Chains A and B, each alone.
Chain A
């Protein structure tokens, strides 16, 4: 007599990007919405908001897929993802609204008004970045340096500050 199969064989869905960096990519996208951008931060009403990644960036094409088709703000700006070699990224900073510096990168953290700098694994107290990704147990967290925000004239929503570990005055 045939016996029903009791338990299925689970099917693996391959993901080329680890879950940690999928979450960080999504958070990076979300940070854009918590910054009080000024009109002077953009060339015109239709210019995109740019997420700049310093190589070697860890997201592959995941961040590009994540922002594809999504529009930001009341002007419905496109969100573009740009990549720069660590040797020449400083030349392109004026095109960026958010700069992500990956873990293990030795590039210096730039200070530019209106540029939100996000690092990965660099202690925020010792860095001039504004936001730094950390992990706590099995979760992604982020920390914010208020002093660095003031120096760069960047204003973050209090809602974002409430979600973060905050250092500085």
Chain B
């Protein structure tokens, strides 16, 4: 659909032979290097988001993301520690817990590499390294205040991205991925469950991966209007089956809209609003359970206390190495939740921050 429907000539040895014929070339020199046969194969339909020169097929990117959790929330309201913490001597109920995380930081270092096969298809590989630290309070003697850490490789993902121009101003992009359960779900720590000096299975959100083969996907509508790029994206992440601890994380669905200002400048500010729905965890890790009536020692041990609906607002800034191209770039994103309606009692997200550095070559 995007290439020469009727070959005009025998295939030439120009770029069109390898890379289809509908690419958009950024520099005049690129076009001057093509043969006349190749020029005849180029589509003239203006691409709203033209691919950078064919010489820059590879992109490598490093990202650092940080998520801070502070406090607690039930449905759409904050709850104080005293409402959910079972202090010494207090009766236990279904809504208070002897172990409560009070502050958590998750940091992910991600290494991405992508290769543009032609002006429609790009493939990429993403390798995350996860590090988490959670501070707790507890009414268990010897564990009044303790921290748990976990770190290691997360779930490695492969993606394919198919890009299809619709007209001179807009395009669609379909991204389809496969997430491999390379991240450990067997992380353990010294928790109050069995006293000091023993290591117990950590709850779901302290693990480094999902433990399941997952299908992340996204469909995006992209538009270029004057100096503005904007778009709407629908996302989903489906978890296949259950992991070897007999659960899978809740599937996610979301929609986000974004806009970014692109003019002849090094700096390109933008904004994004994202809504996401997350299902509760399906299944249960029995290693997290305690005997007795109240089986969950901590709210984050309860699979039903996972997921909900949230709306986040992000401020974006892209910094490019020159005013006219972004071969080298830095991306910054700062995200705050503006609405959250969570299932059960969950840690409250304070903010997320991301900085990425990329290079195209």
Which residues from chain A sit less than 8 Å from chain B, CB to CB?
A: 1-4, 6-15, 18-20, 22-23, 25-27, 29-30, 34, 62-63, 65-68, 70, 135, 137-141, 160, 162-163
Contact = CB atoms under 8 A, between A and B. Distances in A.
Given A12-B262, A25-B28, A67-B32, A4 B216 contact: yes
B163 A6 contact: no
A6 B28 contact: no
Interface stretch (B34-42, B74-82, B290-298): B34-42
B217 interface: yes
Interface string B179-207: 00000000000000000000000001100
Contacts of B224: 12
A163 B44 contact: no
Given A4-B126, A163-B8, A23 B31 contact: yes
Interface stretch (B85-93, B94-102, B138-146, B227-235): B227-235
Contacts of B217: 6
Interface of B: 4-5, 8-9, 24-29, 31-32, 34-37, 39-50, 52, 65, 67, 106, 108, 110, 126, 128, 157, 159, 161, 163, 171, 173, 175, 177, 204-205, 216-218, 220, 222, 224, 229, 231, 233, 235, 237, 249, 252, 258, 260, 262, 264, 318, 324-326, 352
Given A135-B44, A163-B37, 14 more contacts: A2-B108, A4-B108, A6-B175, A6-B218, A11-B49, A12-B48, A15-B24, A15-B26, A19-B47, A26-B32, A27-B39, A30-B35, A139-B40, A139-B42
16 contacts: A1-B204, A4-B128, A6-B235, A7-B161, A11-B318, A13-B52, A19-B43, A19-B46, A23-B42, A26-B39, A27-B36, A27-B39, A34-B36, A66-B32, A137-B5, A162-B9
B81 to A, nearest CB: 22
Nearest to B352: A2
Contacts of A15: 24, 26, 50
Contacts of B48: 12
A70 B32 contact: yes
Nearest to B34: A26
A66 to B, nearest CB: 4
A2 B262 contact: no
Contact of A19 (B42, B229, B324): B42
A159 to B, nearest CB: 8
Nearest to A135: B44
Nearest to B130: A2
Contact of B28 (A9, A65, A137, A163): A65
B333 to A, nearest CB: 9
B34 A13 contact: no
A27 B36 CA distance: 7
Contacts of B249: 1
A159 B86 CA distance: 87
Contacts of B29: 65-66
Closest 5 CB pairs of A and B: A7-B218, A7-B175, A66-B28, A26-B31, A20-B44
A140 B39 contact: yes
Contacts of B9: 162-163
B42 A163 contact: no
Contacts of B46: 18-20
Contacts of B28: 22, 25-26, 62-63, 65-66, 68
Contacts of B231: 9
Contacts of B4: 139
Contacts of B171: 10
Contact of B65 (A2, A8, A11, A19): A2
Given A22-B31, A139-B43, A13 B252 contact: no
